[in-house]
Amino acid sequence: MKEKFVLPEGMIYLDGNSLGPLPVGVEEVVSRMMRDQWGAHLIKGWNVDGWMAQPARVGDMVGRLIGAEPGSVVMGDTLSLKVYQALSAALQMRPERKVVLSDSGNFPTDLYMAEGLIRQLDAGHELRVVAPQEVSDAIDDSVAAVMITQVDYRTGRVHDMDAITAKAQAAGAVMIWDLAHSAGALPVDMAGSGAEFAVGCTYKYLNGGPGAPAFIYVRPDIVHDVDPALAGWLGHEAPFAFDLDYRPGAGIERMRVGTPPVIQLTALERALQVWDGVDMGDIRAASIALSEQFIAEVEVACPELTLASPRDASARGSQVSFHFEQGYAAMQALIARGVIGDFRAPDIMRFGFTPLYLDSDDISQAVDIMSEILRDRLWDAPEYTTRQRVT
Amino acid sequence: MKEKFVLPEGMIYLDGNSLGPLPVGVEEVVSRMMRDQWGAHLIKGWNVDGWMAQPARVGDMVGRLIGAEPGSVVMGDTLSLKVYQALSAALQMRPERKVVLSDSGNFPTDLYMAEGLIRQLDAGHELRVVAPQEVSDAIDDSVAAVMITQVDYRTGRVHDMDAITAKAQAAGAVMIWDLAHSAGALPVDMAGSGAEFAVGCTYKYLNGGPGAPAFIYVRPDIVHDVDPALAGWLGHEAPFAFDLDYRPGAGIERMRVGTPPVIQLTALERALQVWDGVDMGDIRAASIALSEQFIAEVEVACPELTLASPRDASARGSQVSFHFEQGYAAMQALIARGVIGDFRAPDIMRFGFTPLYLDSDDISQAVDIMSEILRDRLWDAPEYTTRQRVT
């Protein structure tokens, strides 16, 4: 599969969990879209080039990778906004309950969006944040919604989707899964889970490019009862009637808001073709093999690092993290030598394993370079210890 | 200026008020961004290619065209979401007031977003929609926010920005302007108006391409008091600290939400270079000349049409609309002959005038074609009378 991606010579890219690489063909397809669609058809592109249907069409492509029913996923906006849409709908479904339950391993923007919504509603809601391993025990009948990210962005720890969903629903809570580090990383069975909502982004394992649009899943049997808080015209039943009153569109279409980002969606749609014929079970097996190799080799060659991820592969997503006090500088030194991972405060060195374009040799080479950096303290240089990076 | 755009041979494009044409250079710049930034730098692009600062940098380019202070505009999301952000903030600023005042000439999505927000807040707010000419008289001390689009999307009627802003503020209301049909169409002086908020899109007169991101302006002296309802991580004071608690970022940065659409922003940033050295006063004068010519010629050659726009050029934006009962079919017949305008229910034929790429000959040719269609009832054919278009 490596030849399906543009990978710079000499770079070992262990950061596909932040931003996937450019798939071969995307540049050409986007150029063609601009020249032959926007450039040639202008406004007519909305009809003749299928732009208006693109959010649902691409949604189904993502849906296949997360075990969602056709017609249950739509693209648009950013993950933060999709979290907001899902949570707002969930709170409306449980007006008598006031607790939003999440965990400290959730990506901060999910918590921020929940905080913002709660402040705005000013109706006595509470965001209750517990440790990841305490989520299940914290579910009780005060909880309106359980809102967690399946794979912890720092440690890679995986929540048990079926067990937590079942517990939440038994307690009468609505379940919202953030699949940011799941989609394209491990098998997900949204339909089988029974969860009401899922959201995710597409610039990580799905390689849609910087700022690629997000997705939202709503369980098909409840979507008709969702009253969208972000009631934009493209979620209207008949956007081009230009009625003054809002009527939500059919099914998942009501989760659309404004004009879709056609250029980004075109890049994403082409990027998703990489997955044609790919089985998520195979990807998961290969990802575990790479991750296990990495942990084993690092623990031998780099004793300064301590594993921050679960040791049990089945409890871990497609990433491995290590604690290291000088993690920031060490990561800069690694990046300078072509091994790209990322740093997450306070001391996490994070590495993503994406079998579509990584193999066993890449892992060994990366560990060799890291071992040299640590052994010779190559990280201890001003150009690495001074914090400048924004991501 | 015509050579700065890709314009299909034989097309007279009078729909730049819906979707601007592809500017020359955009395709190449986007290709280069994908190849030399995303493809070559991957995650490092956020730093080395300036992606993280792009929403503010492009915001300043838009800001210049709407008379906004540097640092007072930021890009992101869609216009619907920016309306929601502005209105949510405005209602928070006037907790004791319950009326949102808008008009029936506002673009429906603005009204839908307001309705959705009001339903969600469930705090007794009311969306009061009056006729466009009645807005000023309807402003009283029950109004929390006046939320209107400066240029009516159907008729092109222009609200008096300074007068309505002054009236709103004298009554203690917060002023929100939607500049969808103003930015790049006529001179706007946001700073001079004193209005608290403005929002707009960039795929119309600013030629950013389908789904180009929206903008939001917040008056610099109040932005520090805005508590964002859509509290995404990129509006956080320190996004990469990954704190569990939200603290709004400095100034206009707090109106950012999620990961910016870098590919769309790159297209837009290049498209905005078209405006380098362009004076909005000159654009306005040329737009009025084209519009006046169009009205005069249509009224002679197409007596079946009746003007739906204000006859006074100073009360009209950069578009002209006519009523015609068979407007839908007539517009399809026009489009089939290369004259691209659009239809807005129930009977509006709408034409946009964009002096950057239209001249007097284009106008005369368009009127000739329309006159022939009407004289010979060429619109009366099944391929034109059957409604199929979505935009």
In a mutational test of the B interface, the residue from A80, A148, A253 whose CB has the highest number of chain B CBs within 10 Å is A80
pLDDT value, residue B201: 98
Under the banding of pLDDT at 50, 70 and 90, the label for residue A390 is low
CB atoms B38 and A80 under 8 Å: no
* Active-site annotation holds for A322: no
CB atoms A240 and B44 under 8 Å: no
- The alpha-carbon gap from B208 to the nearest alpha carbon of chain A, in Å, equals 10
- The alpha-carbon gap from A302 to the nearest alpha carbon of chain B, in Å, equals 25
Chain B residues with CB-CB distance to A77 below 8 A: 77-78, 81, 258
> Which of B116, B228, B265 comes nearest A228 by C-beta?
B116
Under the banding of pLDDT at 50, 70 and 90, the label for residue A1 is confident
**DSSP labels for A174-214?**
EEEEE-TTTTTTS---HHHH--SEEEE-SSSTT---TT--E
CA dihedral B367, B369, B370, B375 (to 10 degrees): 120
Task: Give me the active site residues of B, please.
Answer: 107, 178, 203-204, 350
Closest alpha carbon within chain A to B55: A211
pLDDT value, residue B326: 96
Mean pLDDT of A6-18: 96
Please enumerate in sequence order all residues whose Cβ is within 8 A of that of A32, keeping only pairs 6 or more positions apart, or say none.
none
Nearest alpha-carbon partner for B186 in B217, B147, B162, B150 = B150
CB atoms B258 and A79 under 8 Å: yes
Give domain limits for chain B.
Answer: 26-275, 279-385
HSE, side-chain direction, 13 A CA sphere, residue B296 = 11
CATH code for residues A279-385: 3.90.1150.10
A345-357 residue pLDDT tens: 889 999 999 999 9
* Active-site annotation holds for A107: yes
In a mutational test of the A interface, the residue from B58, B78, B128, B347 whose CB has the highest number of chain A CBs within 10 Å is B78
More confident residue, B256 or A345: B256
> Which of A45, A116, A234 comes nearest B246 by C-beta?
A116
Q: Is the pLDDT of residue A234 over 80?
A: yes
Chain CA centroid to CA A190, Å: 14
CB atoms B80 and A108 under 8 Å: no
User: What whole-number percentage of chain B has pLDDT above 70?
Assistant: 99
Closest alpha carbon within chain A to B257: A80
CB atoms A388 and B47 under 8 Å: yes
Mean pLDDT of A332-358: 95
Under CATH, what is the fold of the domain A26-275?
Aspartate Aminotransferase; domain 2 (3.40.640)
In a mutational test of the A interface, the residue from B14, B33, B38, B83 whose CB has the highest number of chain A CBs within 10 Å is B38
- The alpha-carbon gap from A348 to the nearest alpha carbon of chain B, in Å, equals 12
pLDDT value, residue A149: 98
Chain B residues with CB-CB distance to A112 below 8 A: 231-233, 236, 246
CB atoms A79 and B259 under 8 Å: yes
CB atoms B232 and A78 under 8 Å: yes
The kind and range of the H/E element at B370 are helix B360-375
User: What ipTM, to 2 d.p.?
Assistant: 0.97
Contact, B46 vs A391, CB < 8 A? yes
Q: How wide is the angle at C-alpha B307 spanned by C-alphas B305 and B312, nearest 5°?
A: 155
- Which residue in this structure is represented by tokens 């859509």? B230
- Report the range of poorest mean pLDDT among A26-35, B135-144, B195-204, B382-391: B382-391
